[in-house]
Structure 1
């Protein structure tokens, strides 16, 4: 029996790409570089600052200057992180349905807590999350199982009693390795070249209402 549903945040619960991309394009403009199309931004948005900087500036973690670029990007995101971000369609209805069924829900994201905590309070969830685990809550982030198991401990449920819903390969890997059932959110930030059929997902759903159907 499923007692809890855990979700990724960016690209699963909330459409954060407009603000993630807006911060990137503002930074690129300040440094004399061309903006990136939102379609390209959406394809990498789940990979956070590192993915966005690789797209926009061609700079990767470990490259000289990366830390400075990342700090500058996060400063731009700080100024707009909640400007255009909204819940995806049907998310509110899904969370209300979980509450009616007595199923608790929570968030396990790689987003830093400095942003997660403030954003969660502004999104207007139909029912509040029972646990929120950010990328820096634990010593390790996804695809590690550490934040997944921490969330279970906080909820008092076994991993086998959880669904984990996410839109990235690391989400599916972390959930599977932790012993949860995994659900791939096909409405999320998935690139055209991603081989999702090779990701360790137990289910793939095209809209949030499909998750309620899985729960019966």
Structure 2
């Protein structure tokens, strides 16, 4: 039986790309640059502000003006964290089920506390979340297992009976290194050239709504046929 479930944040628990896109569009307009396709930004969300800005502005860290662009992006995003952001379809019913079963759940993210904590509060999930581990709370972030093991400890859960769900290779690597069962969230922000089969996750799902039946089967073995 399961003892806890952990989620990555962006692209797994929450669909945040529209708020990122709104900031990118506003910045491109203000800097008199042409807008870019939303799919280009979506594919870079997992690489954070550096990946999104590199794609949108055709620049990279170390080049003139990049640091100023990044500070502008972070400041703008901090002021509009949850205008469009929502849990993926199926996530709220999954959280309801986990809580009804007495299964604690948490989040392990590479998104700084400065953004993650208020975002979870604004979405209404902070009080329900038994653990929220951000990279500035540990010495090593994902793909290192440290933040995953910290979350399991905060859940009071045995890592070998926990599941970690994520939409990036680093999520699967962190979960595997910590001894958890892993699920690749194929509905998330995967780059178009990514092959998630190479991640060797325990399981993969096409939509967030596919998570609950699979987890129910793991938690209640008699329903494994579902």
TM-score scaled by structure 2? 0.89
Contact preservation (8 Å) 2:120, 2:126:
no
CA shift for structure 1 position 53 = 1.1
Map 1:185-204 to 2 at 5 A: 185-204=185-204
Deviations along 1:106-153, one digit per CA (max 9) or x if unpaired, are 011111111111110121349701011112221221112111111112
Contact preservation (8 Å) 1:95, 1:125:
no
Q: Report the equivalent of 1:116.
A: 116
**For 2:182, what is the secondary structure of its paired residue?**
strand
Q: Report the equivalent of 1:20.
A: 20
Contact preservation (8 Å) 1:96, 1:126:
no
Q: Report the equivalent of 1:87.
A: 87
1:98 corresponds to 2:98: yes
Q: How many residues align?
A: 216
| CA 61–211 in structure 1, closer or farther in 2 if over 3 Å, else same | same
Deviations along 1:53-97, one digit per CA (max 9) or x if unpaired, are 111122223444432221111012122221111111111000011
**Structure 1: runs of 5+ lacking an equivalent:** none
Distance 1:108 1:62 in 2: 28
Distance 1:63 1:160 in 2: 44
Contact preservation (8 Å) 1:9, 1:109:
yes
Structure whose CA Rg is larger:
2
Distance 1:126 1:65 in 2: 35
**Structure 2: runs of 5+ lacking an equivalent:** 218-226
Map 1:16-165 to 2 at 5 A: 16-125=16-125, 128-165=128-165
Aligned-residue CA RMSD (Å): 1.7
TM-score scaled by structure 1? 0.93
Contact preservation (8 Å) 1:160, 1:179:
yes
Distance 1:137 1:127 in 2: 19
**For 1:110, what is the secondary structure of its paired residue?**
coil
Distance 1:161 1:83 in 2: 36
Contact preservation (8 Å) 2:121, 2:127:
no
